[in-house]
Amino acid sequence: MPETDLPQGLDGFEALLHAKANELVSVLAVGDVNSALDIVNDLQNVKHLAFYNEVGYLTRGLHEAIKSFSGDVPSDAREDSIQGMTDASDRLAYVMELTEKTSHETMDRVDKSLALVDKMDVQSGRFADLLSLVGQLESEFEGLRGVYDRTCQLKQESESTVAKLREELTGILVAQSYQDITGQLIRRVITLVTQVEGSLVQLMNMAAKVESISGLHVEGPTENKKQNAKKDPIEAEGPQLAGENNPEVVGNQDDVDDLLSSLGF
Protein backbone atom coordinates (compact mmCIF):
# COMPACT_ATOMS: atom_id res chain seq x y z
CA MET A 1 0.00 0.00 0.00
CA PRO A 2 1.48 3.39 -0.92
CA GLU A 3 2.24 5.72 1.98
CA THR A 4 -0.15 8.40 0.66
CA ASP A 5 -3.08 6.09 1.47
CA LEU A 6 -2.15 6.13 5.09
CA PRO A 7 -4.78 7.78 7.27
CA GLN A 8 -3.52 10.36 9.79
CA GLY A 9 -4.07 9.39 13.41
CA LEU A 10 -6.05 6.56 14.92
CA ASP A 11 -9.46 8.06 13.97
CA GLY A 12 -8.52 7.89 10.32
CA PHE A 13 -7.39 4.30 10.82
CA GLU A 14 -10.78 3.35 12.26
CA ALA A 15 -12.63 4.98 9.35
CA LEU A 16 -10.47 3.13 6.85
CA LEU A 17 -11.04 -0.12 8.77
CA HIS A 18 -14.82 0.35 8.39
CA ALA A 19 -14.53 1.07 4.67
CA LYS A 20 -12.29 -1.96 4.05
CA ALA A 21 -14.55 -4.20 6.14
CA ASN A 22 -17.57 -3.25 4.02
CA GLU A 23 -15.53 -3.81 0.88
CA LEU A 24 -14.46 -7.22 2.21
CA VAL A 25 -18.07 -8.25 2.88
CA SER A 26 -19.16 -7.19 -0.58
CA VAL A 27 -16.36 -9.01 -2.48
CA LEU A 28 -16.95 -12.15 -0.42
CA ALA A 29 -20.67 -11.91 -1.23
CA VAL A 30 -19.82 -12.26 -4.92
CA GLY A 31 -17.28 -15.05 -4.22
CA ASP A 32 -14.16 -13.04 -5.17
CA VAL A 33 -11.71 -14.69 -2.74
CA ASN A 34 -8.58 -13.23 -4.38
CA SER A 35 -9.81 -9.66 -3.87
CA ALA A 36 -10.82 -10.57 -0.30
CA LEU A 37 -7.24 -11.75 0.48
CA ASP A 38 -5.85 -8.55 -1.06
CA ILE A 39 -8.08 -6.52 1.25
CA VAL A 40 -6.90 -8.55 4.30
CA ASN A 41 -3.28 -7.84 3.26
CA ASP A 42 -4.05 -4.13 2.85
CA LEU A 43 -5.57 -4.06 6.34
CA GLN A 44 -2.48 -5.73 7.75
CA ASN A 45 -0.23 -3.12 6.12
CA VAL A 46 -2.38 -0.20 7.15
CA LYS A 47 -2.34 -1.41 10.76
CA HIS A 48 1.49 -1.37 10.82
CA LEU A 49 1.72 1.99 9.12
CA ALA A 50 -0.85 3.57 11.42
CA PHE A 51 1.10 2.31 14.39
CA TYR A 52 4.43 3.63 13.11
CA ASN A 53 2.84 6.92 12.16
CA GLU A 54 1.48 7.30 15.67
CA VAL A 55 4.91 6.51 17.18
CA GLY A 56 6.48 9.13 14.90
CA TYR A 57 3.82 11.66 15.84
CA LEU A 58 4.29 11.09 19.58
CA THR A 59 8.07 11.19 19.26
CA ARG A 60 8.02 14.51 17.44
CA GLY A 61 5.55 15.87 20.03
CA LEU A 62 7.81 14.82 22.88
CA HIS A 63 10.83 16.33 21.18
CA GLU A 64 8.98 19.62 20.66
CA ALA A 65 7.87 19.63 24.33
CA ILE A 66 11.47 19.17 25.48
CA LYS A 67 12.70 21.84 23.07
CA SER A 68 10.09 24.30 24.35
CA PHE A 69 10.95 23.45 27.98
CA SER A 70 14.57 24.37 27.22
CA GLY A 71 13.57 27.65 25.67
CA ASP A 72 10.80 28.79 28.01
CA VAL A 73 12.95 31.28 29.93
CA PRO A 74 12.72 34.60 28.09
CA SER A 75 16.20 35.72 27.10
CA ASP A 76 15.76 39.27 28.40
CA ALA A 77 14.89 37.94 31.87
CA ARG A 78 18.08 35.92 32.17
CA GLU A 79 21.04 36.80 34.31
CA ASP A 80 24.40 36.50 32.60
CA SER A 81 25.13 33.27 34.41
CA ILE A 82 21.82 31.71 33.28
CA GLN A 83 22.26 32.56 29.62
CA GLY A 84 23.17 29.54 27.60
CA MET A 85 21.56 27.15 30.03
CA THR A 86 19.29 25.66 27.48
CA ASP A 87 18.66 22.25 28.86
CA ALA A 88 17.24 20.74 32.00
CA SER A 89 20.43 18.99 33.10
CA ASP A 90 22.37 22.25 33.10
CA ARG A 91 19.67 23.93 35.15
CA LEU A 92 19.66 21.16 37.72
CA ALA A 93 23.45 21.23 37.91
CA TYR A 94 23.16 24.97 38.48
CA VAL A 95 20.73 24.34 41.39
CA MET A 96 23.32 22.06 42.97
CA GLU A 97 26.07 24.61 42.47
CA LEU A 98 23.94 27.42 43.89
CA THR A 99 22.82 25.48 46.98
CA GLU A 100 26.41 24.41 47.63
CA LYS A 101 27.63 27.99 47.45
CA THR A 102 24.80 29.27 49.67
CA SER A 103 25.29 26.49 52.21
CA HIS A 104 28.96 27.42 52.52
CA GLU A 105 28.04 31.08 52.92
CA THR A 106 25.61 30.14 55.70
CA MET A 107 28.27 28.00 57.36
CA ASP A 108 30.81 30.85 57.07
CA ARG A 109 28.41 33.00 59.07
CA VAL A 110 27.75 30.21 61.56
CA ASP A 111 31.52 29.85 62.05
CA LYS A 112 31.86 33.60 62.61
CA SER A 113 28.92 33.54 65.06
CA LEU A 114 30.44 30.60 66.93
CA ALA A 115 33.69 32.56 67.22
CA LEU A 116 31.65 35.43 68.74
CA VAL A 117 30.07 32.96 71.17
CA ASP A 118 33.56 31.80 72.18
CA LYS A 119 34.45 35.43 72.77
CA MET A 120 31.37 35.81 74.99
CA ASP A 121 32.59 32.84 77.02
CA VAL A 122 35.96 34.53 77.51
CA GLN A 123 34.21 37.78 78.46
CA SER A 124 32.12 35.86 80.97
CA GLY A 125 35.34 34.63 82.58
CA ARG A 126 36.64 38.18 82.89
CA PHE A 127 33.26 39.20 84.30
CA ALA A 128 33.65 36.58 87.02
CA ASP A 129 36.93 38.22 88.10
CA LEU A 130 35.25 41.63 88.38
CA LEU A 131 32.36 40.10 90.29
CA SER A 132 34.58 38.66 92.94
CA LEU A 133 35.91 42.20 93.48
CA VAL A 134 32.31 43.42 93.95
CA GLY A 135 31.80 40.58 96.40
CA GLN A 136 34.78 41.82 98.45
CA LEU A 137 33.53 45.44 98.40
CA GLU A 138 29.95 44.49 99.29
CA SER A 139 30.72 44.12 103.01
CA GLU A 140 32.33 47.57 103.11
CA PHE A 141 29.52 49.52 101.39
CA GLU A 142 25.95 49.26 102.60
CA GLY A 143 24.62 50.39 99.19
CA LEU A 144 26.12 47.34 97.44
CA ARG A 145 24.25 44.82 99.59
CA GLY A 146 22.73 42.06 97.42
CA VAL A 147 24.34 43.34 94.22
CA TYR A 148 26.85 40.48 94.14
CA ASP A 149 24.17 37.76 94.34
CA ARG A 150 21.93 39.47 91.80
CA THR A 151 24.82 39.93 89.37
CA CYS A 152 25.91 36.32 89.83
CA GLN A 153 22.42 35.19 88.92
CA LEU A 154 22.41 37.40 85.84
CA LYS A 155 25.79 36.01 84.81
CA GLN A 156 24.46 32.46 85.08
CA GLU A 157 21.41 33.34 83.01
CA SER A 158 23.62 34.94 80.40
CA GLU A 159 25.88 31.88 80.28
CA SER A 160 22.91 29.59 79.80
CA THR A 161 21.64 31.85 76.97
CA VAL A 162 25.07 31.64 75.31
CA ALA A 163 25.02 27.84 75.63
CA LYS A 164 21.57 27.73 73.98
CA LEU A 165 22.81 30.04 71.24
CA ARG A 166 25.71 27.68 70.58
CA GLU A 167 23.27 24.77 70.31
CA GLU A 168 21.06 26.67 67.86
CA LEU A 169 24.05 27.62 65.72
CA THR A 170 25.13 23.98 65.59
CA GLY A 171 21.56 23.16 64.52
CA ILE A 172 21.84 25.65 61.64
CA LEU A 173 25.14 24.07 60.64
CA VAL A 174 23.74 20.53 60.61
CA ALA A 175 20.64 21.71 58.73
CA GLN A 176 22.92 22.53 55.78
CA SER A 177 23.04 18.79 55.12
CA TYR A 178 19.92 19.40 53.02
CA GLN A 179 22.38 20.39 50.27
CA ASP A 180 23.86 16.89 50.25
CA ILE A 181 20.44 15.18 50.35
CA THR A 182 18.86 17.33 47.62
CA GLY A 183 22.09 17.23 45.62
CA GLN A 184 22.03 13.43 45.52
CA LEU A 185 18.38 13.44 44.43
CA ILE A 186 19.06 16.05 41.74
CA ARG A 187 22.04 14.06 40.48
CA ARG A 188 19.78 11.07 39.96
CA VAL A 189 17.30 13.20 38.01
CA ILE A 190 20.16 14.56 35.86
CA THR A 191 21.18 10.97 35.06
CA LEU A 192 17.57 10.15 34.18
CA VAL A 193 17.20 13.24 31.96
CA THR A 194 20.43 12.37 30.14
CA GLN A 195 19.24 8.79 29.58
CA VAL A 196 15.81 9.96 28.37
CA GLU A 197 17.50 12.39 25.99
CA GLY A 198 19.68 9.61 24.57
CA SER A 199 16.69 7.28 24.20
CA LEU A 200 14.68 10.05 22.55
CA VAL A 201 17.34 10.55 19.90
CA GLN A 202 17.30 6.81 19.24
CA LEU A 203 13.51 6.82 19.10
CA MET A 204 13.54 9.72 16.62
CA ASN A 205 15.99 7.91 14.39
CA MET A 206 13.89 4.79 14.59
CA ALA A 207 10.67 6.71 13.87
CA ALA A 208 12.29 8.31 10.83
CA LYS A 209 13.22 4.88 9.47
CA VAL A 210 9.93 3.09 10.18
CA GLU A 211 7.84 5.82 8.63
CA SER A 212 8.87 4.60 5.21
CA ILE A 213 9.13 0.90 5.99
CA SER A 214 6.26 -1.38 6.93
CA GLY A 215 6.39 -4.80 8.52
CA LEU A 216 9.65 -4.08 10.35
CA HIS A 217 10.17 -5.85 13.69
CA VAL A 218 11.38 -3.34 16.22
CA GLU A 219 13.54 -4.70 19.04
CA GLY A 220 12.98 -3.34 22.53
CA PRO A 221 15.66 -1.41 24.41
CA THR A 222 17.83 -4.45 25.18
CA GLU A 223 20.46 -2.42 26.97
CA ASN A 224 17.99 -1.33 29.65
CA LYS A 225 16.72 -4.86 30.08
CA LYS A 226 20.26 -6.00 30.71
CA GLN A 227 20.82 -3.22 33.23
CA ASN A 228 17.68 -4.15 35.16
CA ALA A 229 18.61 -7.80 35.27
CA LYS A 230 22.06 -7.01 36.63
CA LYS A 231 20.88 -4.54 39.29
CA ASP A 232 22.81 -4.95 42.52
CA PRO A 233 20.36 -5.03 45.51
CA ILE A 234 22.71 -2.93 47.66
CA GLU A 235 23.82 -0.54 44.94
CA ALA A 236 23.98 3.04 46.21
CA GLU A 237 20.79 4.89 45.31
CA GLY A 238 21.02 8.07 47.34
CA PRO A 239 18.24 9.34 49.61
CA GLN A 240 15.26 7.01 49.65
CA LEU A 241 11.69 7.60 50.66
CA ALA A 242 10.58 5.43 53.55
CA GLY A 243 6.91 4.52 53.96
CA GLU A 244 4.31 1.82 53.42
CA ASN A 245 5.17 1.54 49.75
CA ASN A 246 8.81 1.07 50.55
CA PRO A 247 9.06 -1.40 53.44
CA GLU A 248 12.74 -2.09 52.69
CA VAL A 249 13.71 1.47 53.61
CA VAL A 250 14.17 2.29 57.29
CA GLY A 251 12.31 5.32 58.62
CA ASN A 252 14.82 6.81 61.06
CA GLN A 253 18.00 6.34 63.06
CA ASP A 254 16.16 4.26 65.71
CA ASP A 255 15.27 1.70 63.04
CA VAL A 256 18.93 1.57 61.95
CA ASP A 257 19.99 1.03 65.57
CA ASP A 258 17.36 -1.72 66.06
CA LEU A 259 18.46 -3.49 62.90
CA LEU A 260 22.14 -3.30 63.82
CA SER A 261 21.54 -4.49 67.39
CA SER A 262 19.60 -7.47 65.98
CA LEU A 263 22.81 -8.26 64.10
CA GLY A 264 24.77 -8.20 67.36
CA PHE A 265 26.11 -4.64 67.08
Partner 1 sequence: MKKDIKILVVDDFSTMRRIIKNLLRDLGFNNVIEADDGKTALPILQQGGVQFLVTDWNMPGMTGIDLVRFVRADPKLASIPILMVTAEAKREQIIAAAQAGVNGYVIKPFTAAVLKEKIDKIFERIGS
Residues in contact with partner 1 by the rule CB under 8 A:
100, 103-104, 107, 111, 170-171, 173-181, 183-184, 233-234, 236-240, 242, 248-250, 252-253, 256, 259-260, 263, 265
Tell me the closest approach of the beta carbon of residue 176 to partner 1, in angstroms: 5
Report the 10 Å Cβ neighbour count for 43.
Answer: 16
Would you say 122 and 105 are in contact if contact means Cβ atoms under 8 Å apart? no
Question: Which of 216, 200, 210 has its CA nearest to residue 54?
Answer: 210
Q: How far apart are CA 250 and CA 258, in angstroms?
A: 10
Q: Which is nearer to partner 1, 42 or 180 (CB)?
A: 180
∠ CA 236-242-247, rounded to 5°: 90
Tell me the closest approach of the beta carbon of residue 263 to partner 1, in angstroms: 5
Distance of CA 91 to the CA centre of its chain: 12
Q: How far apart are CA 13 and CA 146, in angstroms?
A: 99
Q: Which is nearer to partner 1, 170 or 195 (CB)?
A: 170
Tell me the closest approach of the beta carbon of residue 139 to partner 1, in angstroms: 41
Q: Which is nearer to partner 1, 173 or 193 (CB)?
A: 173
Q: Which is nearer to partner 1, 170 or 202 (CB)?
A: 170
Distance of CA 116 to the CA centre of its chain: 38
Tell me the closest approach of the beta carbon of residue 262 to partner 1, in angstroms: 9
Q: Which is nearer to partner 1, 100 or 197 (CB)?
A: 100
Tell me the closest approach of the beta carbon of residue 78 to partner 1, in angstroms: 27
